[in-house]
Amino acid sequence: MAKKHMIRPHHAFQYTALALSTLAVSIMIYQSRGLPTVHGKLGFSVYLFIAVTAMTGRLFLRRTPLLGRKVKRGQHRTIGFLTMASLLFMILHGLFTFVL
């Protein structure tokens, strides 16, 4: 019998980030009535990256009937690193645009 996969803190952080990002993006779009600024568009793209990273993480752990194959670890890690880099870029863009 296969060993059940334990949820690591990494997975909990990823799903928490997805839930909080969904809330933040919803509030942002509601208050600004769309995505009028470059920073808003960057934030929405980071949100999409986080969602794709979570989905590829699920595909990495199990085979799906629609795709029929698993995502490789390297593919999932690359998407995760791109997500972190885009999040850092968005934070720096916001700091330099609105604060400094």
Sequential pLDDT tens for the chain (100 residues): 445 666 677 777 878 888 988 998 899 889 888 888 888 888 889 889 988 888 887 777 776 666 666 778 888 889 889 999 998 998 999 899 888 7
Tell me, what's the pLDDT at 68? 64
Which string of DSSP letters, residue by residue, matches 70-100? PPPHHHHHHHHHHHHHHHHHHHHHHIIIII-
Tell me, what's the pLDDT at 86? 92
**Number of other CB atoms surrounding residue 43 within 10 Å:** 23
Q: Which two tokens stand for residue 90?
A: 């968005």
Tell me, what's the pLDDT at 58? 76
Tell me, what's the pLDDT at 75? 85
Tell me, what's the pLDDT at 66? 66
Tell me, what's the pLDDT at 82? 93
Phi, psi of 97 (to 5 degrees): -80, -45
* Beta-carbon contacts of residue 60 (< 8 Å; ≥ 6 apart): 70, 71, 72, 73, 75, 76
Distances (CA, A) of 58 to 7, 35, 52: 12, 29, 10
Q: Which two tokens stand for residue 70?
A: 């698993």
